[in-house]
């Protein structure tokens, strides 16, 4: 009789006989210390995974990588068993409990501030069922919980689909991409999901060189690591012949080495752009896509095509994605406000100007620059222009009137104390 290979993930101090007990930090009874999100097992080798009171310790975007990794290592038809707090039933219990009884349920929902006991997510059966099916699991059923039965819990069993080749490809791609990017920052991983969705067409695009290169061109501006990981997984899974894509992979490695997406960010900062940031960013990315496609189609002209971009100084950004670009603009804005509050007006003007070069549609950055120009004694034309730029972007009649009144006070020499300090909100 063949013995089943069972693993108990996140075992903590609860040892399960007949399993390989794995924990990341607690070695009191674990057979193996390992990251449960990056398991040291080959694909399709495990018969049963048990993970009791574990998934709630991951936020929702990390959970996608976690489930994909467990899907990867399980054999087709193998079983995944989960237990986690039942958010819906816990909330109902919380609202019905007397004040003195609520604390235990709140700790059950949110965890406690002890290593390995903080909770980041909560689940209903329907939500977790959906996430499991999207990953590639099937036959999702709910059973009576067996651990920590003093509070409402979910116990779920499901199986890895047979013939789930595409799901398996993306599970392996997620692992490869996560390792290549080397980040667990949810602010990066959340927008990355949109780019992973663009990669969903990979299996069909792999059959055609034109479609494959179109996909590469769409993904490379965000971070060339994404299409490189996609091609690498295509070769590893035998969906692509290595000689067929060797030139494309070499080109993408070149883009990775030159930090292409960071140079694209610097080019975005330098470029002239209108106030409709979403439209302008879309047009800019389209031009970068065309550049990548042109380089793919004309290798002999690649050096010439990339000469200007290569001459730029790369400016760090994890992904050249609009959501992260706008975060960087906010950081520069906040640094400008800090310098303004410390009366370092030259630094404040520099950082606020930088913020507007990233996101020109920020009325507060314009307003602070207008105040700085006024209190620095700039010419009336410069001060008036700064205030007009602010007024044009201000939402609402009342806000525009407030800025106009301030301009009038500066123009007539009647500025108030509040007009010479940084402004943080409209």
Please, what is the average pLDDT of the chain? 95
What is the predicted pLDDT for the residue at 2?
52
Task: Say if residue 203 is in the same domain as residue 154.
Answer: no
> Rounded to a whole number, what is the distance in angstroms from the first to the last CA of the chain?
72
Q: Which residues share a beta bridge with 85? A: 153
Phi, psi of 51 (to 5 degrees): -145, 95
In the listed set 106, 141, 163, which residue is the last one of a domain according to the structure? 163
Query: Tens of pLDDT along 170-200?
Result: 999 999 999 999 999 999 999 999 999 999 8
Query: Tens of pLDDT along 98-125?
Result: 887 899 999 999 999 988 899 999 999 9
**CA-based nearest residue to 49, from 75, 85, 29, 13:** 75
Kindly compute the dihedral angle of the four CA atoms of residues 199, 204, 206, 209, in this order, to the nearest 10 degrees.
-110
Task: Say if residue 48 is in the same domain as residue 11.
Answer: yes
In a domain, 425, yes or no: no
In angstroms, the Cα distances linking 228 to 176, 215, 252 are 10, 11, 6
> Given 3-state DSSP classes, what are the helix, strand and coil percentages for the chain, each rounded to the nearest 5?
60, 10, 30
Helices vs. strands in the chain: H and E counts, helices first: 18, 7
In a domain, 219, yes or no: yes
Q: Is the pLDDT of residue 256 over 50?
A: yes
Query: Tens of pLDDT along 378-393?
Result: 999 999 999 999 999 9
36 by Cβ neighbours in 10 Å (0-12 / 13-18 / 19+) ranks as buried
In the listed set 128, 148, 163, which residue is the last one of a domain according to the structure? 163
Task: Say if residue 116 is in the same domain as residue 259.
Answer: no
Task: Say if residue 173 is in the same domain as residue 158.
Answer: no
Q: Is the pLDDT of residue 3 over 90?
A: no
Q: Is the pLDDT of residue 91 over 50?
A: yes
Task: Say if residue 58 is in the same domain as residue 171.
Answer: no
At which residue do the structure tokens 């920020």 appear?
362
Task: Say if residue 82 is in the same domain as residue 202.
Answer: no
Task: Say if residue 77 is in the same domain as residue 136.
Answer: yes
In a domain, 149, yes or no: yes
**Per-residue confidence band for 425, with pLDDT thresholds at 50, 70 and 90:** confident
Q: Is the pLDDT of residue 376 over 50?
A: yes
Task: Say if residue 149 is in the same domain as residue 187.
Answer: no
Q: At 55, is the secondary structure helix, strand, or coil?
A: helix
CATH number at residue 76: 3.40.50.150
Task: Say if residue 183 is in the same domain as residue 288.
Answer: yes
Average confidence (pLDDT) over 321-349: 97
What's the number of domains the chain is made of? 3
**CA-based nearest residue to 85, from 58, 112, 131, 123:** 123
Residue 130 belongs to what domain range? 6-163
In a domain, 350, yes or no: no
What is the predicted pLDDT for the residue at 241?
95
Task: Say if residue 129 is in the same domain as residue 110.
Answer: yes
Answer for the pair 81, 49: CB distance below 8 angstroms, yes or no: yes
Task: Say if residue 254 is in the same domain as residue 277.
Answer: yes
Query: Tens of pLDDT along 19-68?
Result: 999 999 999 999 999 999 999 999 999 999 999 999 999 999 999 999 99
In the listed set 138, 163, 188, which residue is the last one of a domain according to the structure? 163
């Amino acid at each position: 009789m063949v013995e089943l290979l069972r693993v108990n993930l996140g075992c903590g101090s609860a040892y399960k006989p007949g399993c390989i007990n794995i924990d990341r930090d607690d070695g009191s009874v674990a057979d193996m210390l390992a990251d449960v999100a990056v398991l040291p097992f080959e694909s399709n080798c495990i018969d049963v995974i048990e993970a009791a009171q574990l998934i709630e310790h991951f936020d929702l975007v990390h959970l996608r990588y976690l489930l994909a990794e467990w899907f990867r290592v399980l054999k087709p038809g193998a079983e995944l068993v989960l237990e986690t707090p039942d958010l819906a039933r816990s909330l109902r219990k919380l609202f019905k409990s007397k004040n003195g009884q609520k604390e235990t349920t709140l700790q059950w929902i949110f965890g406690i501030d002890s290593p390995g006991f903080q909770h980041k997510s909560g689940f209903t059966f329907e939500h977790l069922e959906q996430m499991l099916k999207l990953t590639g699991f099937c036959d999702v059923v709910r059973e009576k919980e067996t651990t920590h039965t003093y509070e409402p819990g979910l116990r779920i069993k499901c199986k890895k689909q047979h013939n789930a080749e595409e799901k398996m490809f993306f599970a392996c791609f997620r692992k490869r991409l996560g390792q290549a990017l080397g980040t667990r920052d949810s602010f990066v991983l959340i927008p990355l999901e949109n780019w992973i969705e663009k990669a969903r067409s990979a299996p069909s695009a792999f059959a055609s060189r034109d479609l494959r290169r179109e996909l590469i061109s769409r993904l490379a501006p965000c971070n060339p690591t994404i299409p490189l990981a996609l091609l690498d997984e295509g070769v590893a899974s035998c969906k692509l012949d290595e000689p067929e894509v060797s030139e494309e992979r070499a080109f993408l490695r070149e883009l990775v080495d030159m930090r292409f997406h960071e140079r694209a960010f610097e080019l975005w900062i330098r470029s002239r752009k209108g106030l409709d940031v979403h439209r302008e960013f879309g047009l800019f990315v389209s031009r970068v896509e065309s550049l990548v496609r042109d380089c793919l189609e004309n290798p002999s002209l690649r050096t010439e095509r990339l000469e200007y971009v290569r001459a730029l100084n790369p400016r760090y950004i994890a992904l050249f994605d609009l959501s992260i670009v706008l975060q960087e603009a906010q950081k520069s804005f906040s640094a400008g406000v800090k310098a303004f509050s410390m009366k370092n007006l030259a630094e404040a003007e520099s950082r606020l100007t930088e913020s507007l070069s990233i996101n020109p549609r920020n009325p507060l950055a314009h307003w602070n620059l207008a105040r700085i120009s006024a209190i620095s004694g700039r010419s009336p034309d410069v001060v008036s222009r700064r205030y007009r730029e602010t007024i044009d972007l201000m939402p609402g009649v009342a806000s525009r009137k407030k800025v106009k009144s301030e301009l009038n006070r500066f123009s007539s020499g009647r500025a108030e104390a509040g007009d010479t300090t940084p402004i943080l909100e409209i």
